Amino acid sequence: MTESNKLSKGLVQVYTGNGKGKTTASLGLVFRALGHGLRIHVMQFMKGQTTYGELETAKIFADRLTIEQVGTPKFIKAGQQTAADRELAQSAFARAQMLVASGDYDLVVLDELNCAIDFNLVELEAVKELIRSKPAHTELVITGRNVHPDIIELADLVTEMREIKHYFNAGQAARVGIES
């Protein structure tokens, strides 16, 4: 822990489920943490397709917030993962391991990491090791559908976003500024 770290105790949170709001919730936490001067890193897995609004926002808070987005331009379907998907996810995870271990961050968000595990792009055991060995002051947030039971076991908090109703099913397409 360095003098610039603001959290005395960091926990492990998971946002999962099939309803909308997992990435949004993690970014809400980032917004709150920024207000207290926390240092934040967000690594977004499996997201090479779109320029998300949060990437632009991060430029405004560049001294305390970094967001990296990693993925191939194609939407990944289950069973159709490519070597390129695997390589990108694994190098992003290696970087996340290094950033967490550095202890420089109060809050680290690993967005869609559950999906990257589920799609066999990142090793479950490596994620478990990252959770177990994280610095005590670093808050770790892992998002994505289909969280593995071992990750639930290791987490301090697990919230499930459950779809009750979603406008997508009524034909409403994703909107810039709301979904991206």
Using CB under 6 A as the binding rule, whether residue 75 contacts ligand ATP is answered as no
Using CB under 5 A as the binding rule, whether residue 23 contacts Mg ion is answered as yes
Q: How many residues sit in the footprint of Mg ion (CB under 5 A)?
A: 2
100 contacts: CB under 8 Å, gap ≥ 6: 108, 130, 134, 135, 138, 140
Quick one: angle between helices 83-102 and 124-133, nearest 10? Answer: 10
Nearest residue to the partner Mg ion, using Cβ: 23
Give whichever of 19 and 48 is closer to ligand ATP, judged by the CB atom.
Answer: 19
AA letter at 34:
L
CB of 99 vs Mg ion, minimal distance in Å: 20
For ligand ATP, the binding residue among 5, 19, 97, 154 (CB under 6 A) is 19
151 contacts: CB under 8 Å, gap ≥ 6: 14, 114, 117, 124, 127, 128, 131, 142
Taking CB under 6 A as the rule, which mask of x and - marks residues 87-126 in contact with ligand ATP?
-------------------------x--------------
CB of 84 vs Mg ion, minimal distance in Å: 21
Q: Which tokens go with 108?
A: 């680290």
Rounded to an integer, what is the distance from CA 34 to the centroid of its chain?
16
Q: Are the C-beta atoms of residues 5 and 137 closer than 8 Å to each other?
A: yes
Taking CB under 6 A as the rule, which mask of x and - marks residues 138-157 in contact with ligand ATP?
-------x------------
Using CB under 6 A as the binding rule, whether residue 23 contacts ligand ATP is answered as yes
Give whichever of 19 and 103 is closer to ligand ATP, judged by the CB atom.
Answer: 19
